[in-house]
Amino acid sequence: MKRQELQADFDRIKYQISSVKIGTGKDKDELISLSSQQICVSMCGSLEQNLKRIFMEYAKRRSNSRIYRPIEKVCESYQNPKSTKILELIGLFDSEFEEILRMEWSTGRELERQHIDNMVDDRITIAHRKKNHVNVSSTKLDAYFKAYTDLLNRVYDHFLDDKAQ
C-alpha cells in the first residue's frame, strides 16, 4: 500500500463532504441527510479496509508467505473497527504501539477515540436501519474525518513509512 493510495481515499471523502456542504440550503434536506449518511458509511468502510491493507502489507514485508496467509485471513475477517478492535489488531503486530495508542486515547486524544466509535455506531445503525433517522451533520462528518485521517496517518507512519522503520 502506497501513501498515495491512502491520500486518494482522504481526498475522495473530503470532496464528498465539501459537496454536501455546498448543497446545504440548496438541495432538499432529505437528500443532504442521505448523502451525509452515505459518507459516514463510506468513511467507516474505508477505515476498515485501509487498516486491513496496512497490516496485510506490513505482514507481507515482514514475513514469509506461510506466515502471511494466516495473517491475511485474520485481517479479512476484521469488521466494524471500534477503538477496542483497533487496539487488539494493532497489538497483534506491535504491543508497544498498542499501549502508546491506548494512552493517547485516554489522555490527549479522547475525542479521536470517541469519534471513531461513534462513526462505527452510526454506520451500523444506518446500514441495519435500526432507527428511521440518524443525524449525521456536517460538523459530525468533519469530526469523523479528522479522527479517521489522523488515526490512519499514524498507523501508516508507524507500520509502513520507510523512514519510521
Q: How many domains does the chain have?
A: 1
Residue 116 buriedness (CB in 10 A; 0-12 / 13-18 / 19+): buried
Spans of the chain below 70 pLDDT: 162-165
Instruction: Please list, in sequence order, all residues whose beta carbon lies within 8 angstroms of the beta carbon of residue 34, skipping any fewer than 6 positions away.
Output: none
In angstroms, the CA 65 to CA 83 distance is 29
Tens of pLDDT, residues 71-94: 888 878 888 999 999 999 999 899
User: What pTM value is reported for the model?
Assistant: 0.90
Domain extent for 115: 3-159
Tens of pLDDT, residues 1-24: 899 999 999 999 999 999 998 887
In angstroms, the CA 68 to CA 61 distance is 9
**Is residue 21 included in any domain, yes or no?**
yes
**Is residue 91 included in any domain, yes or no?**
yes
**Is residue 95 included in any domain, yes or no?**
yes
**Is residue 165 included in any domain, yes or no?**
no
Residue 120 half-sphere exposure, CB side, CA atoms within 13 Å? 17
Determine how many CB atoms are found less than 10 A away from the CB of residue 154.
16
**Is residue 29 included in any domain, yes or no?**
yes
Q: What is the per-residue pLDDT for 50?
A: 96
**Is residue 164 included in any domain, yes or no?**
no
Mean pLDDT, the chain, as a whole number?
A: 91
User: Three-state SS across the chain?
Assistant: CCHHHHHHHHHHHHHHHHHHHHHCCCCCHHHHHHHHHHHHHHHHHHHHHHHHHHHHHHHHHHCCHHHHHHHHHHHHCCCCCCHHHHHHHHHHHCHHHHHHHHHHHHCCCHHHHHHHHHHHHHHHHHHCCCCCCCCCCHHHHHHHHHHHHHHHHHHHHHHCCCCCC
**Is residue 103 included in any domain, yes or no?**
yes
**Is residue 30 included in any domain, yes or no?**
yes
